[in-house]
Structure 1
Amino acid sequence: VLLHRAQARGISVDEARVDNAVAGMAKRNRLSVDGLRREVERRGMPFARYREGVREQLLIRELVSSEVTRHIEASDVEIDEFLSSQKKHAVNQEAQLHLSHILISLPAAVSAAERETRESLAFDILRRVESGMPFDEAARQFSQGPYASKGGNLGLRPVSQLPELLVAAVEGLAPGDLSSVVESAGGFHIVRLNVRAQAGQQLVRQYRVRHILQVPNAVSNLSMVSARLIQVRDRILAGADFSTMVRLHSEHLPSRSNGGDLGWVGPGDVVPEFEAVLKELVPGQVSFPSRTRFGLHLIEVTDERLHDVGGKRLRAQARSTIRSRKIDERYEAWLNELIGRAFIEYRSPRFQAQ
C-alpha cells in the first residue's frame, strides 16, 4: 500500500541516496560495501534485490515525511504545559544508566560440561575486551542477547527500566569500566558502563560535524554538482585532507575558514534533512552528496557524545517528544485511511460487476 502510494505521488529516490544508505549499513557492520555485498549474497539474496529493499525503505520514509511528519509541529503552549508537568514529577526523577551488554545464554536444561564451556567463553570474551577488542565488536560476534546487532548498546535508560542484575553489576564502576562475568539463570553476562547520569540531568546525543556545501545554479545543475562532490568524496577517501577540500570546494562561507567545522550539533540545531543524514553516519564516515534546502553537502561526523544540556535544550527535547507522539497518532490514522481506501478500490470492481 505504501509503495503504491509513493508511486502515485511521483516520489522517487536517486542512486546517490541509496548508495549513501548502503554505505552507512556497511560501515555500521564494520564492512566495506563489497564486503556487505558478499555477506548478502552468501545469505542467498541477490545484492540488487537488497539495494531495491533499501530503496523501498527510503521511498516509504520520504512518503511518510511528505504526508505525515512535515505537517506536524508542537506549539509553545504545548511545550510549556509539558515542561510544567515534568516539574511536578521532578521528585520522582531517577538516575539513568547507559549500558552495553554481552550475553552468553544458558538453555533451560544444560549439562555441566556445556555450562562450563559457556562460562569459559564468557571469561575469554572478557579477556579479549580488556585486551583491546572493541566491546561493540565483541557483542556483535559473540553475544546472544537481543541487542547484539547494535553492539550490545542498551541506550540510556532510567535505572527502574533496567534489569536489577545489570544495575548491580555496574555498581561502583566508573564510565568506561567493565563488570566481571555475572551469572544468572539465563546465562553469563558482561556489562560495560558507558554513562551514569544523575537524577535531573538531561542528556542528548550530539555530533561533531564538518561539511562541504555546493549550491546548484543555472550553470551547474543538481546532477553536475552531485558528480563534482562525488569526485571530492573519492579524493577524501583516498587520503586528501578534508580541510583542504573545504577550502577548495565549499561554498559555505561561515565554516570554510575552519575546515568546514560546524561544532557540536544536536536535535533541532540543523535542518531536518541534514540531521537525518547525521543519524545514519558513524564517526569517520563521509556521506555521499546529501540534499538540503541549502544545496548539496558532503557531511562527516568526526565524533559523537551524550551531553548534559540546559533549559533551551529541554524545550527542544519537549518539542521532539510532543511531535513524536503526534506523529505516532497521525501515522496510525493515516495508515488506516490508506488501507481502507485500498480495500475499497480493490472491492469496488467486483461490486460493480454484480
Structure 2
Amino acid sequence: MSMKPNVFPVKTLQALFLACLCWLPAVVYSQGFIDRVLVVVDNVPLTLSEYRVRHRQEAVQGGRLAPFNGEVDPELLTLMIDERLQVLQAEYRGIDVTEQEVDASVELIARQNNMSSTALVSQLERDGILLQEFRASIREQQMIRKLMDAVANSRVIVSDQEIENYLNAHSELRAADESYEVSHLLIQIQDRTDDRIASERENMHLLRQRIEEGLPFDQAVREYSDSSSREDGGYLGWRRSDQLPELFLEALRDMDPETGNLSPVLESESGLHLLKLHGRGGGGALVDQQLIQHILIVPDQQNTLDEVENLASRVYDQLLAGESFEKLVRLYSMDTQSRDSGGSLGWVNPGSLVPEFEEAAKSLPIGQVSKPVRTRYGYHLIRVLDRRSTDMANEIAANKARQTIFRRKATELYLNWFQSIRQRAFIEYVGIPDATGS
C-alpha cells in the first residue's frame, strides 16, 4: 500500500481544536496478533496496536471508518502522528496533567452522558475498553490543549488599534453587561468517588437548609468553605457577567436579592457551590485590580525544567541583591508581550491569570518580589506594584473584542507554529500491515 507524501494537511490540525476528550481507546486483541511499528515520530514508535485502538474508536464513536480490516487509513494515521508530535512538544516544555485533572475530566464526561462515574466505567468494560488507556487518552488530549494555550498566550499580541477597529465594526459590543454583587461558598471534593460525591452533596443541602433557617452566610463560609475568599466571608464584591462562570450566571439570573438571594446547590469540576446575591446592577462593577510585573523563563529543547528552575532561582537571588527588575526582564524574560515594557502586565483583573500566578500575586506585599512560581508556561518572578478598585463597565466591550481577536490570531499562529515543527520533525514510515494484521 502506498502512503501519502509527508505533507501536513491544515484541515487535519484544525480538527485537533475540536477533538473530544472522550476517546474509546482500548481493544482486546487475539492471541495470534503480532504488533509492529508503523511510524517512528522523533525517535518514538507509533505501533499497529495503537493504530487499531484509535481506528476502533473512530469506527465505533465517530462512524467515519468501517471496522478495521488491516488497511491503514492515511488520514487517520497522519492525525495520530500530529498528536504524537504535540504531546512530545508538551513534554519538552514540562507540561503535565495531574491525576486529579484526569479524574475531573472523567467525571465531566460521565455527567455529559447522564451517568455516574461508576456507570461510565461499567459501560467502558462492556465495550471492551481498558480504563487505564481511556485515562491515558484523556491525559494526552489535555496536554495538547495546554500546549495550544501556552503557545498562544506566550506569542499572541492584540494591539489597542486592533481592538478599536473591531469595536468600530461591531458597535453593539459597547453596551454594558449586567453585574452582580455576590458571595460564594465552595466545598471541594478531594476523593471523587460516587459515594463521596453523594455524601458531600447531601451535606451541602443540609448546610443550605441551615442558612435558610438563620445561619449567617459569612459564618457558614468561614466554618466550611474551601474558597480563597473564606476569610472575607465569601464576599466577591461586584462582578460583571463576563467575570462569572456560566454555571453561576444561570443561577443568578433567576435570583432576587430581596426575596430569593440564595442559590440552589451548584456542582462543577471544582466542587459544590452556594451563592448569595446581595445586589444586581446594570453594568457598573467595582473590580480589585493589581499592577503587576513579571519575568517568565520557559523550558525548551535546549533547557530542561530543572535547568529553568535553577536559572529562575539565580535571577531571584539577583533581585534580592538589589539588581534592577527591568534590567533582568530584558536579560532573561521570554514573555515577548511584556519584555519591552519592563515585564509590565498592566492592571490585571481577577480571573485573567492562571491560578498559580494569581494566588502568588494576591499574597505579595506591594513592591516585594515572589520566589519562582511554576505554571504551565514556565517559571515566573512576580512583583505587584500597586492595587486599586475600579469601575470596569466601560471596558467590557474592549475585553470581548480582545478575546475574539485573540482566538482568531491564536488559532492562526498555532497552525503556523505546528507546521514548522512538523517540517523539522523526523518521521519515518516503517511498515504497513497486510489484511490480517500479522
TM-score normalized by the length of structure 1: 0.45
- Structure with the bigger RCO (C-alpha within 8 Å, sep 6+) is 2
- The answer to which structure has the higher helix fraction is 1
TM-score normalized by the length of structure 2: 0.38
